[in-house]
Structure 1
Amino acid sequence: MSRSPELRTRVEALEAASAHQDRVIAELSDAVAAQWSRIDLLTREVLRLREEMQALSQTVAPDKAPPHY
């Protein structure tokens, strides 16, 4: 029975470590979800800008020498 308090202390330490890890994992999961949301938003914005640039390049006159030449 002399190991019982030591064992109890070790189990409590493991439970505390496990709870801490659970909290950290949940925080990391939330951070990753937020980052993916931001990545999706930025990807859509890049695609929109690419389409806009392509549309503009089609409306711009062909390559001409600038007026100062």
Structure 2
Amino acid sequence: MLCRVLWASLTRASSGFRFGVLSVPWFCSWVPVRSGTVVYGFPTLRCIRGLGWFCLWALDLVEFLLLWPVRDW
């Protein structure tokens, strides 16, 4: 199952930053994502570069593991 990604892109013309929202289907969580030049997607959908994505992915994994015992499946 691929991650469902919903992007609400807002671009600031002066700096070129893009903002988005990442929604992971197996738990209800909205994680803001920002990059300098590209919009990041889930690693199964496209190639990811940079340390920022790894930190975001690790945070999602920790949140999933913490919520898994109390999640109403």
Fold-level match, TM-score > 0.5?
no
Normalised to the residue count of structure 1, the TM-score between the two structures is: 0.31
Higher RCO (CA < 8 A, seq sep 6+): 2
Q: Which has the higher strand share?
A: 2
Normalised to the residue count of structure 2, the TM-score between the two structures is: 0.29
Q: Which has the higher helix share?
A: 1
